[in-house]
Structure formats: structure tokens, C-alpha cells
């Protein structure tokens, strides 16, 4: 069983999340629910849960301040929030999962599935510290991305990404130094993570590329691009015209 604590200052949100977990995720056992953040800290230290669902916006102590107090305990975290702002961007970049309230059952099931893939993460404390570091930076300094993998996560300079290739529910991320990282996220997830960077473009259902690393475009029905590392990647017909506009302003 996945021993879980829920922390949210809104009683209705706690009840709704607990209900959906009970109905849709029988492998999850809710050992405690806390409306008061200070009690949440005590509960985490006492119960040492596998997973914590943590609200971002709470009075007196917000979710990030709570994390400061328990980061050495290093539970796996899934944030829940009704807001979408810079803090959420930092959460995404740190490879920590989050759900927007009201929580969608399908998205909850997917989040639990991702947790199970990565549950042996020995780097939980480092991951939380990376998030806290990102929160202290200005928005335009977010240059590193935490790529979730089977062992935990890998920090990558965003501009070092050459292209990303879909591999079922995983994504192979190819770097300029010709190394490859396999992320435990779909290509769509990686595309969303990189959506703030205009130089990434989805040329095909299987490929997301760094436009700055395109060496050549070869015309055809959809054609294909040759990247600076020599990789030849197909372009779908629906993306062809947009790609050419990007390459030839």
C-alpha cells in the first residue's frame, strides 16, 4: 500500500480528494488528513508517509514553507492547487508532480502511476531542494529542467537539448553532447514543460526539436530535418508550413 497524507486548508478539497483516492486508487491508504499546515508537518514527521498530497496556497504556512520543514524526511510530493502562476512553473521544472483543483480523477490516476514508476527515488531531498532553489530565483533564470527518470531525476540545461523522441509512455531526450536521457514522461508532458521556450517545436507526433539545432530541411511530402548531430527526423505534413516559417522568418 502507498501510505499517504493529505494536507489542505479547505475541508471540501480534502474530502473530495480522499473520496476520489478511495474510489479510484485502492492501492493508496490515506493515513491522515490535515487542514492546519503545522499539524501536517507533525503528521509527516510522525507517520513518515510514502506520498503527500500538499496544497500550495494555505494561510500562515504555505506548501513551500511546509516543505522546508520536512525536506530531510523527503516524502514524495504531489502538489494540489487552484492557481497557475510562476510557482507552478517552478514545480514543473523540478519534476515534482502537481494537480489542479478540482482534481480530475483521470489525472489523479496518472499521477499515482507516475509515482509508482519513480517510488524508489533516493534523491527526494535533492529534488525538493531544487524546487526551493527555483522558487528563490527570478522567472527568467529558470534554465535547468529536472527530467524524471526511473531512478529519480536528472538536471539538464534546457539549451543543451537537441531533440526529444517519443517512446510510448517515455521520452528519449537527446542532448548536444550526444548522450540520451530516458524520461518517465510522455512527449506531450515534455512539450508542456518546454512550452515557455519558443525555440522548441513539435514537428511530428514522435519528435519535439530545438529549432536552433536544425542544420538542414529536406523537402518532401512532409520532408525531414537534419539536426546538428546528424539525426534525420521526419516532419508531418500538418507541421511543414509552420516549421518553414520558423526556419525562414
pLDDT value at residue 205: 96
Q: pLDDT by residue for the chain (249 residues), tens digit each?
A: 999 999 999 999 999 999 999 999 999 999 999 999 999 999 999 999 999 999 988 988 989 899 888 887 778 899 998 865 656 766 776 768 888 888 999 999 988 988 887 765 445 677 777 788 777 665 445 577 888 777 777 889 999 999 999 998 899 999 999 999 999 889 998 998 888 788 999 999 999 999 999 999 999 888 999 999 999 999 999 999 999 999 987
As a dihedral over the C-alpha atoms of residue 179, residue 129, residue 97, residue 149, rounded to 10 degrees, the angle is 30
Whether the CB-CB separation of 97 and 111 falls below 8 Å is answered with yes
pLDDT value at residue 204: 97
Pairing assessment for the beta strands 214-218 and 28-34 based on DSSP bridges? unpaired
pLDDT value at residue 119: 62
pLDDT value at residue 233: 97
Domains and CATH numbers, the chain: 2-135 (3.40.50.2300), 160-247 (2.40.50.1020)
pLDDT value at residue 122: 44
Helix (H, G, I), strand (E, B) or coil at 6: strand
pLDDT value at residue 140: 47
Question: DSSP letters of 190-233?
Answer: HHHHTTT-TTEEEEETTEEEEGGGEEEEE-SSS-EEEETTS-EE
User: If 0-12 CB within 10 Å is exposed, 13-18 middle and 19+ buried, where does residue 49 land?
Assistant: buried
Helices (H) and strands (E) in the chain — how many of each? 8, 15
Which H or E element spans position 78?
strand 76-81
pLDDT value at residue 84: 59
Q: What is the pTM of this model?
A: 0.65
Amino acid at each position: 500500500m502507498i501510505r499517504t497524507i493529505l494536507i489542505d486548508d479547505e475541508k471540501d478539497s480534502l474530502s473530495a480528494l480522499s473520496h476520489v483516492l478511495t474510489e479510484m486508487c485502492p492501492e493508496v491508504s490515506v493515513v491522515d488528513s490535515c487542514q492546519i499546515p503545522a499539524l501536517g508537518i507533525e503528521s509527516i514527521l510522525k507517520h513518515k508517509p510514502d506520498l503527500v498530497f500538499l496544497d500550495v496556497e494555505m494561510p500562515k504556512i504555505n506548501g513551500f514553507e511546509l516543505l522546508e520543514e520536512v525536506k530531510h524526511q523527503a516524502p514524495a510530493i504531489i502538489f494540489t492547487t487552484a492557481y497557475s502562476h510562476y510557482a507552478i512553473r517552478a514545480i514543473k521544472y523540478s519534476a515534482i508532480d502537481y494537480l489542479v483543483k478540482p482534481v480530475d480523477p483521470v489525472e489523479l490516476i496518472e499521477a499515482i502511476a507516475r509515482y509508482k514508476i519513480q517510488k524508489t527515488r533516493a534523491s527526494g531531498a535533492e529534488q525538493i531542494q531544487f524546487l526551493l532553489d527555483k522558487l528563490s530565483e527570478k522567472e527568467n533564470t529558470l534554465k535547468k529542467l529536472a527530467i524524471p527518470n526511473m531512478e529519480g531525476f536528472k538536471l539538464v540545461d534546457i539549451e543543451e537539448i537537441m531533440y526529444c523522441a517519443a517512446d510510448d509512455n517515455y521520452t528519449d531526450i537527446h542532448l548536444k553532447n550526444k548522450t540520451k536521457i530516458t524520461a518517465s514522461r510522455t512527449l506531450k508532458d515534455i512539450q508542456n514543460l518546454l512550452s515557455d521556450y519558443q525555440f522548441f517545436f513539435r514537428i511530428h507526433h514522435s519528435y519535439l526539436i530545438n529549432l536552433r539545432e536544425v542544420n538542414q530541411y529536406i523537402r518532401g511530402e512532409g520532408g525531414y530535418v537534419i539536426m546538428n548531430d546528424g539525426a534525420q527526423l521526419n516532419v508531418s505534413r500538418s507541421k511543414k508550413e509552420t516549421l518553414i516559417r520558423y526556419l525562414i522568418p
